[in-house]
Chains A and B, each alone.
Chain A
């Protein structure tokens, strides 16, 4: 079959020593940042973008994917051992995992998380390899109007449907879209919203926005409330080995988590939070030991961790085949492709099969590396948690500033970094989601290009936007996704009033 030979070629690329080294660096960095509280995979890739500018594109992208996967593995260690999830998708793991660690079962909790992540990551990557060509065939038929509709759907789902508050999510998205306007208009060459500042003509750098919002904003936020909750590291007690009972209680949640995480991650809805939460709910309902939930049930770690990793592979599907990022990390990986002049999508599969399939094959390699790195080396990762907080965040800020300076060493760029940092701080304080803003900055200009292309093909007739059944269907879904949370909030209020 086609996929097999393509994947075989991919393995030839991914198993070359230089690429293996990139993958190893990626998973190592990814695990480290996943473990460290406060910095996630999105930020790490953003920091590395300017640094990898001169390196080989295939190798760098393999490294970025390794960071993404590694971040997912590392996050579980933090949430099990200190109850402070390194990234939001690990929140559920902390519920049961931290209880297990407190009860002296930290070893099996870490093991079921790591092995579950491996199982889920491998199955989901197989899914990616087999469904991606199929989606590419579909994507070839997409016109500008369809792409525009797809991006509108992504905007809505990323910001409104699954956040706490559609108002705050959409505000974050629109500010991101606004930032995307800044700079020279690609079609007419006129400057928009630059206010005569020459540095703004090139537009806002994705790196600067992401690093400002994530790193500087997070440092400000944590510093401002450091007196609130002191963290306690739970030592790893007990054997790392899972007992026979642990295995028999874990394997089904792993599989169920995988089949929740992969499709949900692949939908334009994206994100790892929903599948992990769903998996937890399902495991609690199906468990033979429901009384253990909340006190450290192994199913509550196994299922969500598997879902978490499977969704990471799922997210890569729309990214590679359509060029559509559905999470902050995917959005920044898209910027990574763009920095080498590569545009993910059907064309990339045709023009650079070595790169695409090498990247997919490297995901299998990364998974094997991660399960090997994570279990025996867990002691090393735990030691990372012992870095004193002042030095940890001071170091993060130094690297954040360095990334910006390496990209553009100007006072304007650094001032923007500081401004975005302040914005990130305020957004955290008032509970505005950050991912929609990053997605808005990256996808906004692309959506505008597709919209204007569609309208100039139709000579300005707006009916063209809904003429294709694909576009009409996607826009209808977007409208539904936009209205659903308001409708549900209305229901909630109704119920509350009844009570």
Chain B
């Protein structure tokens, strides 16, 4: 356990987390405040949000106090580019489904972007693997398990 020392730098991450918790608690209270139908006896729907917001506020204060006395466990250096590639893959997936490109192309993009994040550079190969994988999954789920997956121009041909 790290000991409390004076003159040590404040843990900025803990401050940010504490402040975010406070904001979330405030939003919860504001939202619960608008509930008009409450119960005549017992607990209405607004009581639980108040309790949880109270808990979050206490935890927020806990984080702020903690930030001055302790620090969160040491973080290892992260590779921002890897995170960015996966984020890009997820955005491509959401856009693909949102604009009706269909299940298979969206999945292939996600597959290739994730593989890139883990250091692969053969994007074309990975795209092909992604298409094949998504194709197999699509057939299995729509034909075998009769689930409906989003269709694009490619899927309508099947």
Contacts and interface: CB of A to CB of B under 8 A. Distances in A.
Interface of A: 50-51, 53-54, 167, 170-171, 174-175, 177-178, 181, 185, 187-190, 192-193, 195, 216, 219-220, 222-228, 388-391, 393-395, 397-399, 401-402, 405-406, 409-411, 414-415, 417-418, 421-422, 425, 429-431, 448, 451-452, 455-456, 458-460, 489, 492-493, 496
Interface in B43-61: 43-45, 47-49, 52, 55-56, 59
B86 interface: yes
A398 B107 contact: yes
Q: Could you say which of B1, B85, B115 has the most chain A C-beta atoms within 10 Å of its C-beta? A: B115
B110 to A, nearest CB: 6
B119 A226 contact: yes
Contacts of B111: 394-395, 397-398
A233 to B, nearest CB: 17
B128 interface: no
A398 B17 contact: no
Nearest to B40: A460
A54 B118 contact: no
B45 A430 contact: no
Q: Could you say which of A51, A175, A394 has the most chain B C-beta atoms within 10 Å of its C-beta? A: A394
6 contacts: A177-B55, A226-B119, A394-B111, A398-B133, A409-B148, A430-B13
Contacts of A496: 1, 3
Nearest to A177: B52
Nearest to A52: B145
A395 B112 CA distance: 10
Q: Could you say which of A51, A167, A175 has the most chain B C-beta atoms within 10 Å of its C-beta? A: A167
Given A51-B147, A178-B56, A226-B79, A398 B118 contact: no
Sorting the interface of chain B by its residue count into under 10, 10 to 19, 20 to 34 or 35 or more gives 35 or more
Interface of B: 1, 3, 13, 17, 21, 24, 27-28, 31-32, 35-39, 41-45, 47-49, 52, 55-56, 59, 62-63, 66, 72-73, 75-80, 82-83, 85-87, 89-91, 93-94, 97-98, 103, 106-107, 110-112, 114-120, 126, 129-130, 133-134, 137, 141, 145-150
B17 A430 contact: yes
A394 B49 contact: no
Contact of B141 (A171, A185, A402, A489): A402
Nearest to B116: A390
Nearest to A184: B45
B16 to A, nearest CB: 10
A54 to B, nearest CB: 7
Nearest to A460: B41
Q: Could you say which of B1, B52, B62, B148 has the most chain A C-beta atoms within 10 Å of its C-beta? A: B52
A226 B78 CA distance: 9
A213 B130 CA distance: 23
Given A226-B79, A398-B134, A455-B42, A431 B73 contact: yes
A274 B12 CA distance: 32
B114 A393 contact: yes
B107 A402 contact: yes
Contacts of A189: 37
Contact of B42 (A175, A391, A459): A459
Contacts of B27: 193
User: Which 5 A-B residue pairs are closest in the complex by CB-CB distance?
Assistant: A456-B42, A390-B118, A223-B82, A394-B114, A224-B78
Contact of A226 (B39, B107, B118): B118
Nearest to A452: B43
A452 B149 contact: no
A349 to B, nearest CB: 30
Contact of A181 (B21, B52, B91, B103): B52
A383 to B, nearest CB: 18
A50 B141 CA distance: 11
Contacts of A220: 82-83, 86
Contacts of B145: 51, 54
A401 B44 CA distance: 37
Contacts of B44: 188
Given A51-B147, A178-B24, A402-B141, A421 B90 contact: yes
Given A188-B44, A228-B76, A405-B97, A418 B90 contact: yes
A451 B43 contact: yes
A19 B102 CA distance: 35
B59 A167 contact: yes
B83 A224 contact: yes
Given A171-B63, A174-B56, A219-B86, A187 B39 contact: yes
Contact of B72 (A409, A415, A431, A458): A431
A188 B147 contact: no
A425 B87 CA distance: 12
A310 B35 CA distance: 47
